């Protein structure tokens, strides 16, 4: 298979859906670590161990390139994986890069010094672990100066989405937006720093108001992947069909995934 997509649960399906629309002929293996979701309340070592196990499974499935469609894994594990774990002939990419490219209007290959950008006040909504890692701010600082980032840890939102309780998810999102606005009343832009959040993107938009530009990841990641594969066609390996693997109960996960994407999704058990 050419590309693997890893997530702690079902949120990465939003990325898979966007990738499928942008690259309809690209076969993908999706890995959901549903038995251990959510990652957002785990410590960094735990996240690293779980993420490397899932990514190794995708390597074993023939994926040369894996996208961590999980902001928590990208924040807590990606750099450590890239520095000492990923084999030389494989690639593991995170989901912060496309967001920062869009926010700063700078391509990732632009290695010029950090400079001022148009947006000055940014709200970041993410899991508690992603927020505490400050990974987004660190990566942003390599490319932009003068940007004030106010981060809101959105405890409970991923759990509510995974349980299918969208009424609770709606209430939690509005509560978290209200909490952030007490500290930053007028953000110019809002980053949805979790791939589960596109499932409640309209709630974020409604709560934030029409004057806030909302940056959501799936389409940005899909476009960035298309650009990457155009530059690195050797990463497109063999394979003919998209498959879905889970560490959870395949029947239950398939049912939830089908509800989220409104099309039939069939998971099989991951062989770890």
63 is a catalytic site residue: no
- Name the catalytic one among 57, 63, 154, 194: 194
194 is a catalytic site residue: yes
The residue to which tokens 């990923």 are assigned:
86
- Name the catalytic one among 57, 63, 70, 154: 70
Rounded Cα gap, residues 6 and 267, in angstroms: 14
Q: What is the per-residue DSSP string for the chain? A: --EEEEESSSTTHHHHHHHHHHSTT--EEEEE-TTT---TTS-HHHHHHHHHHHHHHHHHTT-SEEEE--HHHHHHTHHHHHHHTS-TT-EEE-SHHHHHHHHHT--TT--SPPEE-S--EEEEEE-HHHHHHTHHHHHHHTTEES-EEEEEE-TTHHHHHHHT-HHHHHHHHHHHHHHHHHH-SS-SEEEE-STTGGGGHHHHHHHH-TTSEEE-HHHHHHHHHHHHHHH-GGG-------EEEESS-HHHHHHHHHHHHTS---EEE---
- Looking at the annotation, which residues are catalytic? 70, 194
């Amino acid at each position: 298979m050419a590309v693997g997509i890893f997530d702690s649960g079902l949120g990465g399906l939003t990325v898979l859906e966007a990738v499928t629309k942008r690259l309809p002929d690209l076969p993908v293996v999706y890995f959901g670590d549903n038995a251990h979701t959510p990652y957002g309340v785990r410590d960094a070592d735990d996240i690293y161990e779980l993420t490397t196990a899932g990514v190794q499974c995708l390597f074993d499935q023939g994926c040369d390139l894996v996208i961590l469609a999980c902001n928590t894994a990208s924040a807590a594990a990606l750099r450590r994986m890239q520095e000492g774990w990923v084999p030389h002939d494989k690639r593991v990419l995170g989901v912060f890069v496309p967001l920062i490219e869009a926010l700063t209007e700078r391509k990732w290959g632009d290695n010029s010094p950090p400079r001022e950008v148009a947006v000055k006040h940014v709200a970041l909504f993410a899991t508690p672990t992603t927020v505490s890692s400050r990974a987004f701010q660190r990566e942003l600082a390599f490319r932009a100066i003068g940007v004030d980032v106010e981060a809101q840890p959105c405890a409970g939102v991923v759990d509510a989405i995974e349980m299918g309780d969208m009424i609770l998810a709606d209430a939690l999102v509005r509560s978290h937006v209200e909490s952030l606005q007490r500290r930053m009343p007028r953000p110019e832009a809002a980053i949805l720093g979790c791939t589960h959040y596109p499932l409640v993107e309209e709630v974020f938009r409604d709560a934030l108001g029409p004057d806030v530009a909302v940056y959501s990841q799936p389409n940005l990641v899909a476009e960035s992947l298309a650009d990457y594969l155009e530059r690195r066609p050797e990463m497109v390996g063999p394979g003919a069909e998209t498959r879905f693997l889970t560490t959870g109960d395949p029947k239950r996960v398939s049912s939830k995934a089908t509800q989220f994407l409104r099309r039939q999704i069939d998971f099989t058990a991951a062989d770890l």
